[in-house]
A and B are shown apart, each in its own frame.
Chain A
Amino acid sequence: MNILDAEGVYKTFGADHLVLNNIHLSIPEGSVFGLLGPNGAGKTTFIRIINQITAPDEGQVYFRREPLSPGHIERIGYLPEERGLYKKMKVGEQALYLARLKGLSRHDALKRLKHWFVKLGIEEWWGKKVEELSKGMQQKIQFVITVLHEPSLLIFDEPFSGFDPINANMLKREILELKEKGSTIIFSTHNMSSVEELCDHIALINDSEVILKGSMEQIRKDFRSHSYELEFTGNYNKMEATLSSDYQIENSFQKEDKQYITVKLLHNLTTNQLIQQLLPLGNLTGFKEVIPSMNDIFIHAVENHTKAV
């Protein structure tokens, strides 16, 4: 089941500026969904539509098959990219205020806040003014505020910007824990390594259109290059001659007594056939598939799309 379905969403600013062009997206319940795309692609606008900050010109977004309505706001937690806090207000007071705006009662909000503050070891910040905290500390508070009302859908827009590695790790842990508990998480980011670590589904938006979407597994399969990295000791020249035109050597270099070679399989040959060819020629010490990184996929997809347009 999908927690969110966007169907044919259009959004324009003014008469001439198309921001979202016929967006169809489905976000499976319980997934960590990566919403990727270059700056200005329309990600934030799409997220704002989900949060009902703005409405689509055409099309409809469904939350668990119901058209999005104000009642859903309390089931969504949103950490915007442009996020901040009242500088002069005390941390505890502020967290309480924002939690109550999300529909929690004062009593519940207080109880949950205490729990989170203890969990993250930040109890002593309760009475401090926000301006006394570092940026990273403020981010922690913002994270707590976002998840406090235990929403079933969480949206993080560039959550790692401004975090040091230690806090970023903590954030990843917390996100995975929330997923374990059954929350669905939408993740908008440029940080591709975190996408690889966390996401199981992605959609790539470029120039107001969805150009790529699906599960990570499927996308990786689609973007397979059929290239393999070999670690080889033996007669390289002979090997190079042996590999017929069914193979393409993409890269090759020697380091100490080992030869490192990247080979691409052509004509649907299997890896076993390649290994058979190699075994008589020397000693094969390493063999692994070259998996396209999300970074490569991202750049590849965006460049192709831009060329097509």
Chain B
Amino acid sequence: MKTSIILQREYSTRVKKKSFVIMTILAPLLMAGFIIGYSYLIMAEETEERLIGIIDDSMIMHESLQNTDAIKFELIDSKGDENIKELYDQSNYHAILFIPENITISNTVKLFSESQPSQAITSHIKTSIENYLEDQRLIQEGISRELISSLKVRLNLDSIKWGSDGSVSVNTTSTAMIVGYLGGFLIYFFIFLYGVQVMRGIIEEKTNRIVEVIISSVKPFQLMMGKIFGIALVGLTQFIAWVVLIAGFSFIGLTYFSPSHDAADLTPAPVTQDIMASNPAGEAIEAAGLNMANPDMIQMIMNELANINFVTVLLLFLFFFIGGYLLYASLFASIGAAVDSETDTQQFMMPVTLPLVLGIMVMINAIQNPDGNIAFWFSMIPFTSPIVMMVRIPFGVPVWELSLSMALLILTFIVTTWLASKIYRTGILMYGKKVSYKELWKWIKYSR
């Protein structure tokens, strides 16, 4: 009863804060702006025309370079690479490409410019010349390109999952990756953001000296729980507001500002693939940018999304979000109770933030190998499971693993909350004392 009065205050004072309102509205605006801006930028870059001059000592190679909408080539009537700088300065070329006479042996061309040419340009030049040289060699060997093409195999791998009820679903890895990554990262982000708010709130009550007034009316445990749950609701409110607003803003933005569709025909693929190979995070953004630009792709991703059971994912997200938050919030609460000011929190923050950061690191690994050993163990350990398990869920996790992980999480947060309440009720009445771990242990052992 009294806990709910506390919860109300914790919630309403935070939600009414200007910073909360601004953050809640501004962040999705920025995010939507980022999504729109990014997709716009990709298009814009490729439609801006670049003129590339060619000095072709080999005489024939320039024929392989075809103009595109964004890249135009012009043959320069000159030989050798000695006076390229003067040529460049006198002209309006974006860059000058030098093709040496011995290109067929050296396999090297040089691209001169004052600014770094975009990857779209370099990869266009590279693939064009590569293809040309390859064709030459194929002809020498008497093999036609058609033959090669017909020999090439492109394997489609549809991973089909049987649900426990016998249903069949086609799961597509990249979408699962995006959903998992987003879920895991959001949990990390919210635990951190709101866990620290719990800590700050407690330090505030200590430094304000209001805490003794309050705990003469309610039990310290009620005060702590009211604060933890109140702030959890603030987090949920913000999360829901963000989801609604980001969806809304993106929809409005893309309806009105969407770049024309023909721009999407250009192939940004080489660029994307490079990033994709090295960085799954990049891929998520990349894919987000692309799917907005290309209606076919939207359709495709929609189909893939339909294969992930969103109700389950969402419910599990909420569970791990709340479970993880409660676990860490109780730890942050004991830090807040143990110190006098935020500057003193350093020594205790380390062991709390370390597993969180570790969770993020494991998550990046787990996203590529969601059923591996590392992913399994870290999705069982309660300190990392909210983040790591979230990544695994879209790929499908056996029910027993999920239940075990959830049970462990519940058990652990009951234990940490109990420990935190012991530290809390002693700590909040201690002023002006530098506290060590030994001291904290003593507090835990106090009967009352």
Residue-wise, chain B 198-213 has the 8 Å CB interface mask toward A (1 for contact) of 0000001100111011
Are B213's CB and A145's CB within 8 A? yes
Q: Shortest CB–CB separation between residue A100 and chain B, in angstroms?
A: 5
On whether the beta carbons of A54 and B448 are closer than 8 Å, the reply is yes
Asked if A202 is at the interface of the complex by the 8 Å CB criterion, the answer is no
**A100 and B213 within 8 A (CB):** no
State whether B5 touches A84 (Cβ < 8 A): no
CB distance from A247 to the nearest CB of B (A): 53
Interface of A is mostly: loop
Interfacial chain B residues near A78, Cβ < 8 Å: 213, 216
Q: How far is the CA of A13 from the CA of B448 in the complex (A)?
A: 10
Residues of A within 8 A of B442 (CB): 14
In the assembled complex, the CB of A29 is this many whole angstroms from the nearest CB of chain B, namely: 21
- 20 A-B residue pairings within 8 Å (CB atoms): A13-B446, A53-B216, A53-B220, A53-B429, A73-B216, A80-B212, A80-B216, A82-B431, A83-B212, A83-B213, A84-B210, A86-B205, A88-B13, A97-B5, A98-B213, A98-B214, A101-B5, A103-B2, A103-B217, A142-B213
Assess whether B212 is in contact with A98, with CB atoms less than 8 Å apart.
no
Chain A: how many interface residues by the 8 Å CB criterion?
30
What's the A-B contact tally at a CB cutoff of 8 Å? 62
Given contacts A14-B446, A82-B212, A83-B210, 18 further A-B contacts (CB under 8 A): A13-B446, A53-B429, A73-B216, A76-B216, A78-B213, A79-B213, A80-B216, A85-B208, A86-B13, A86-B205, A86-B208, A88-B13, A89-B13, A98-B217, A101-B6, A101-B214, A101-B218, A103-B2
Closest residue of chain A to B220 (Cβ to Cβ) is A53
Are B210 and A85 in touch, CB under 8 angstroms? yes
A84 and B208: CB pair below 8 A?
yes
Closest Cβ–Cβ distance, residue B401 to chain A (whole Å): 43
**Chain A residues positioned under 8 Å from B42 (CB to CB):** none
Q: Cβ of A55 < 8 Å from any Cβ of B?
A: yes
Instruction: Show the binding face of A for B, using Cβ within 8 Å.
Output: 13-14, 48, 51, 53-55, 57, 70, 73, 76, 78-80, 82-89, 97-98, 100-103, 142, 145
Given that A14-B442, A97-B5, A101-B6 are contacting pairs, would A51 and B209 also be in contact in the complex, using a CB cutoff of 8 Å? no
Contacts of A87 in B (CB 8 A): 208
Residue total for B at the interface (Cβ-Cβ under 8 A): 25
Residues of chain A contacted by B218 (CB below 8 angstroms)? 101
Nearest CB in chain B to that of A76: its residue: B216
A101 adjacent to B448 (CB under 8 Å): no
Knowing A14-B442, A97-B5 touch, does A73 contact B217 (C-beta < 8 A)?
yes
| Distance to closest chain B CB from A99 (angstroms) | 9
Q: How many angstroms between the C-alpha atoms of A57 and B447 in the bound complex? A: 9
A53: chain B residues within 8 A (beta carbon):
212, 215-216, 220, 429
Q: What is the minimal beta-carbon distance from B43 to any residue of chain A, in angstroms?
A: 46
Q: How far is the CB of B140 from chain A (nearest CB, A)?
A: 80
Interface members, chain B 411-448 (any A CB < 8 Å): 429, 431, 442, 446-448
Q: Report the separation of the CA atoms of residues A145 and B214 in the bound assembly, to the nearest whole angstrom.
A: 11
Give the 9 A-B residue pairs with the shortest CB-CB distance, closest first.
A84-B209, A80-B212, A101-B217, A84-B208, A78-B216, A51-B216, A82-B209, A84-B210, A55-B448
Chain A residue numbers with a CB within 8 Å of B204 are: 86
